[in-house]
A and B are shown apart, each in its own frame.
Chain A
């Protein structure tokens, strides 16, 4: 047996085991995260986007099927569920601030989420997207684990929702500061709240890096909007069905 044959056999063995895929995923993420920090949290270099591109490039280069990769990477994917439960912590820890600005937070989260859903539905409909794509897009402004759960229930494609959610986060983090400056919104709590509501964790991370007050309100908005969206979208469906 030649050396090449031996190497090939090792590769065949590695492909079938989770070890290599877990190492690749975490390695790509660490690299992307380093690059993001080195470039002063430059929004386009979002670590999620960069690690997805790195891993995908490897899979395409070595002609590995996605299903094979996911067999290993599913152990990381599983943690999304527990992470969603853990999202209760930022809400709990900031409960004091939440209860002080109760009225503004409650009204903004209800109206903001309703606006986000309507805007996504309206623009998609105007552009003539098909119904499955619209359902896939609908929960895109909330954190991916919640968005995927909603997507599954309303007949979207959860995995697609996940990436559209990430794209939404990157868009919000990249263009948010510019947009809010354009409309001369100076209130830091309001700015942070908008970041968290419209672009979940990625927007929250961005707000936190800019201003402490904005960061807290972003975290609260992210948690609450996830919760409100998860209840509001199915509720709108029930009402719509009742009317038809």
Chain B
């Protein structure tokens, strides 16, 4: 497990360093995500067979971490509740944006997806 945690941290670290050094617009952890995807795919190749146990370890550890993803939002979420007065003036309008924006995005995306994937709407 420790090797997996170390790998995740190293990839995030590389991501953050690249983001800061080149002043990239993509967040460091997202660069880390892409590097992780590349790493896992490289580990897939026959030549790197010895790395298979590490790959399994990374997958298991990551899935455990993602199982608690919801918990990780709590500290920052509390901050907003405590500073809710900052939003007061715009709260209602923000809610309208979120509700309309989310619903329309869902409709648009599902229509596009079902059209391209070629399946008919069986209604």
Contact = CB atoms under 8 A, between A and B. Distances in A.
Contacts of B61: 86
B76 A59 contact: no
Contact of B90 (A52, A133, A199, A235): A133
B75 A51 contact: no
Interface string A136-159: 010011011110111011000011
B106 A172 contact: yes
Interface residues of B, number: 75
Interface-centre pick from B90, B99, B109 (highest chain A CB count, 10 A) = B109
Interface of B is mostly: helix
Given A90-B66, A175-B102, A25 B75 contact: yes
Interface in A208-227: 221, 223, 226-227
B117 A168 contact: no
A105 B109 CA distance: 10
Range, interface on chain A: 35 or more
A15 interface: no
Contacts of A45: none
B98 A140 contact: yes
A46 B18 CA distance: 36
Nearest to A29: B71
Contact of B76 (A127, A129, A162, A172): A162
Nearest to A53: B81
Given A166-B77, A234-B25, A234-B26, A195 B106 contact: yes
13 contacts: A29-B71, A53-B81, A111-B108, A116-B105, A123-B96, A127-B97, A130-B90, A143-B69, A160-B86, A175-B99, A190-B111, A194-B110, A227-B34
Interface of A: 25-26, 28-29, 33, 47-49, 51-53, 55-56, 59-60, 66, 69-70, 73-74, 76-77, 79-93, 101, 103-105, 107-108, 111-112, 115-116, 119-120, 123-124, 127-130, 133, 137, 140-141, 143-146, 148-150, 152-153, 158-160, 162-164, 166-168, 171-172, 175-176, 179-180, 183-187, 189-191, 193-195, 197-199, 201-202, 221, 223, 226-227, 230-231, 233-235, 237-238
